Amino acid sequence: MYRIPHYYRDQGAALLEGSVRFRVTSWNAPSSFQHGYDLLSPSGIPWQVTLPHHRLHAAQYMLASVISWWRRIW
């Protein structure tokens, strides 16, 4: 089994309203993507990280890094 990351968004949704999901395929080839299925969470819905969620954590990490750096130089 292979897991291929991909960007997913609902039809009609804005470009930045999507999420990162993993597609499970039988073989590691782009042609197998359409025959695969999205990795599911224990509750049965597709596992995903929404773009706003990802951006929030990236911003928190960057802020923590800046604060850490600032404390070292003062």
pTM of the model: 0.61
2 neighbors 27 (Cβ within 8 angstroms): yes
At residue 50, what are phi and psi to the nearest 5 degrees? -75, 150
Q: Which residues of the chain have pLDDT under 50?
A: none
Q: Tokens in use for 30?
A: 């782009």
Beta bridge partners of 4: 23
pLDDT at residue number 61? 66
Determine the straight-line distance between the first and last CA of the chain, rounded to whole angstroms: 51
Task: From 54, 23, 51, 50, select the one nearest 38 (Cα to Cα).
Answer: 23
pLDDT at residue number 63? 67
Q: Tokens in use for 4?
A: 């291929």
